[in-house]
Amino acid sequence: MIAQIIFVVLFAAAVAWFSFNVRRITRYINLGRDIKRNDQPWKRWKTMFRVALGQSKMVTRPVAGILHIFVYAGFIIINIEVLEIIVDGVAGTHRVFAPLGAFYDFLIGSFEILAFLVFAACAVFLIRRNVLRLKRFHLKEMTAWPRSDANIILITEILLMTAFLTMNASDFLLQQRHVGHYLTAGSFPVSSVVASLMSNLSSESLVSIERFCWWFHILGILAFLNYVPYSKHFHIFLSFPNTWYSNLENKGRLNNMENVTREVKLMLDPSASPTAGNDAPQRFGAKDVFDLTWKQLMDAYSCTECGRCTSVCPANLTGKLLSPRKIMMDTRDRLEEAGRLIDKNGKEFRDGKSLLDRITKEEIWACTSCNACTEACPVNIDPLSIIIDLRRYLVMEESGAPAELGNMFTKIENNGAPWQFAQADRFNWTTNT
């Protein structure tokens, strides 16, 4: 009874703290500007199932993609087993779903195979990061914390799978010995191998090991649950809504600023009457996270820091400072900073800092607008949209365009074209001299 009470208290506390952090992140995301992203719902559902559930963009790199599918499937399916652990913890039962019979045996056997695949995949990922040291995991934005964060998650998953298999191995031996409530239930294709290494232990030792691993497994999952909101692994939860709200327009199409479009139309056709809602916008482009849309802020929290975007960025590949992954990491870090201060001082509080304190002009102007980063992202993040909005602010509010672009803008304004010739002289080249 005491164990049940302890379990219920710890479980309730873990769920409450996770809910608190989800509400906090939701609040931060909603600090962004509104944007409508609910058109073409069937296409959005299709995109979500294909990209988030089907992992279609992960398998473009087969080794990492297949290994990630093992981890992903393990995370989703093995958590069905967690439901049984929760029921057992609350009710004080043991393998409460055992009456399902052959279907239960199939489930436990499947969970064990998946647990082994998760163990193996995480081990390979650790080797890729720390032994092979793939370049994209060690660029300069991948400082001590991002590298440690990835390793912590991988090691945690290995420990959780080890505890699960060891728990089953102990249970398997206790079932064979007909000890107490350890009735025959389940199929153990992997843990039976582990059990052969434990066969000389006493029944009392096996019970202690089984109970320790049971508690370690469930408390580890609850700890993992509450670590995720502070980690890049929050994409586990956000990848589904983030892909649902993907930009369905052609990737090369940039959105126009409504107020600027209206002014251009009036300039071209002075007889046109101004439409309603012609108040000047608070800001052209984006200087800080508050000027970005909620979808761009969701993108920042959805970033997996996998570096696929940076690894295909032509600017980065030629040695320039730009890293699309860093753009997303900087946006998320700035939003966290601003959000904490707002929580402390009120919604209208501003600290005088901006996103441009973290992202340099050199990074912004190195972008070729090729959309390679957006195409490569496994969860449909769009770093280019943030870069474009930061550029717009620099050009339209700070006149901060590079000299080459400034000259082009002047020629377009004066000549109606990016060349130095007046419109009247544009076709002089066709005249024989």
**Number of neighbours of residue 201 by Cβ within 10 angstroms:** 15
Task: Please report, for residues 104, 240, 295, 392, the alpha-carbon distance to residue 386 in angstroms, rounded to integers and kept in the order given.
Answer: 49, 21, 10, 10
Residue 233 lies in a domain: yes
Whether 240 and 267 map to the same domain: the answer is: no
CA distance 356 to 342: 19
Distance CA 230, CA 76 (A): 20
Shared domain check, 238 and 265: no
**Residue 367 maps to a domain:** yes
Measured CA to CA in angstroms, residue 215 lies from 37, 163, 164 at distances of: 43, 9, 10
Residue whose structure tokens are 């608190």: 20
Domain count, the chain: 2
pTM across the whole model: 0.90
For the chain, percent helix, then strand, then coil, each to nearest 5?
65, 0, 30
Q: Are residue 294 and residue 217 in the same domain, yes or no?
A: no
**pLDDT value, residue 422:** 78
Cβ distance 175 to 182 under 8 Å?
yes
- CATH code: domain of residue 352: 1.10.1060
Query: d(Cα 110, Cα 86) in Å, to the nearest integer?
Result: 19
Q: Does 49 reside within a domain?
A: no
Same domain for 117 and 178, yes or no, is: yes
Does residue 7 lie in a domain region?
yes
Q: What is the 3-state secondary structure (H, E, C) of 337-379?
A: HHHHHHHHHCCCCCCCCCHHHCCCHHHHHHCCCCCHHHHHCCC
Residue 40 lies in a domain: no
- Domain shared by 281 and 239, yes or no: no
pLDDT of residue 276: 53
* Judgement on whether residues 236 and 272 belong to the same structural domain of the protein: no
State the Cα–Cα distance between residues 380 and 242, nearest whole angstrom: 7
Report how far residue 313's alpha carbon sits from residue 307's, in angstroms, rounded to the nearest whole number. 10
Query: Has residue 53 been placed in a domain?
Result: no
200/280 same-domain check: no
Per-residue confidence of the chain (433 residues) as pLDDT tens digits? 788 999 999 999 999 999 999 999 999 999 999 998 999 999 999 999 999 999 999 999 999 999 999 998 887 777 778 888 999 999 888 888 888 889 989 999 999 999 999 999 999 999 999 999 999 999 999 999 999 999 999 999 999 999 999 999 999 999 988 888 888 888 899 999 999 899 899 999 999 999 999 999 999 999 999 999 999 999 999 999 999 999 998 887 888 887 788 777 887 777 766 665 555 556 889 999 999 999 999 999 999 999 999 999 999 999 999 999 999 999 999 999 999 999 999 989 999 999 999 999 999 999 999 999 999 999 999 999 999 999 999 998 998 888 888 888 888 888 888 888 777 777 777 876 5
What local confidence, expressed as pLDDT, does residue 273 receive? 66
Q: Tell me which of 190, 214, 244 is where a domain ends.
A: 244
| Of 361, 311, 335, 367, the residue nearest 141 (C-alpha) | 311
Q: Is residue 36 part of a domain?
A: no
- Select from 244, 277, 295 the last residue of a domain: 244
Name the residue type at position 349.
Answer: F
Contacting residues for 243 by C-beta, under 8 A, at least 6 apart: 47, 48, 51, 52, 379, 380
Q: Write out the residue range of the structural domain in which residue 291 sits.
A: 258-423
190 lies in the same domain as 308: no
Q: Are residues 171 and 86 in the same domain?
A: yes
In this structure, are 200 and 272 located in the same domain? no
* pLDDT number for residue 280: 52
Q: Is residue 69 part of a domain?
A: yes
Q: Quick one: 145 and 265 in the same domain? A: no
* 110 and 187 fall within a common domain: yes
C-alpha 327: how far from chain center: 14
Smallest Cα–Cα separation from 406: which of 421, 416, 418, 389?
418
Q: Which residue, of 222, 244, 266, is where some domain finishes? A: 244
Alpha helices of 255-358 — where are they, by DSSP H? 258-268, 294-302, 308-312, 314-317, 324-345
